[in-house]
Amino acid sequence: MKEKKDEKKLSYSGSELADKTIGIIGVGAVGQKVAKYCNTFGMKVLGYVRKKIDTVENIEFVDLDTLYMKSDIVTVHVSLNDKTRHMINSDAFKKMKKTAIIINTARGPIIDEKALIVALKNGDIAGAGLDVFEKEPLAIDSELREFDNVILTPHTAGMPDGLKFHKKRYAFFIENIKKVIAGKKPDSALNKI
């Protein structure tokens, strides 16, 4: 419609989420929340974790190759470290369905961006939704900006009100700094104190 074409003459493509399979790489707090949303839409949920965790309701845990081969959508929710850097590479894209979509809202370098661009050009996968990139901000001349089947957000996809979110986040940091100065335990500490 933005192109001012007669919508009766346009062909539309898309699909329902119901009965699709989503593969969640990293089934921690965020991955489990994504799984719950997907269950609500009637999706089959596959999960991959490196370290065994307790069974999570409505998630079938599989190895990574199975997740790639069976998923209509692959979504990434792992932290970035030496083992996850470029874990999604050309080999992974070749195992995915040609109709698969990859979503990354975790950390950019988990996906090998050059391999992603090749996979998109070759039609190895159908598309991507990226909120994070190997180098941020994403270069103005990045080929990723040229694909019609790629949705890009500047590491803000989860922020309905960016300014409000940042104010809340900075207030959290300030309160934790005050607690540490006062000799108290900060909230959400990741290491032993």
Catalytic residue set: 107, 136, 155
Residues in the chain: 193
Residue with tokens 């103005």: 140
Would you state the structure tokens that stand for residue 78, as one six-digit string?
């792992």
Contact 98/126 with Cβ under 8 angstroms?
yes
CA distance 1 to 177: 50
CA distance 52 to 174: 36
Q: Reduced to 3 DSSP states, what percent helix, strand and coil does the chain have, rounded to the nearest 5?
A: 35, 15, 50
CA distance 40 to 25: 19
CA distance 124 to 142: 19
Largest CA distance in the chain: 68
List Cβ neighbours of 17 (8 Å cut-off, separation of 6 or more): 38, 41, 42, 43
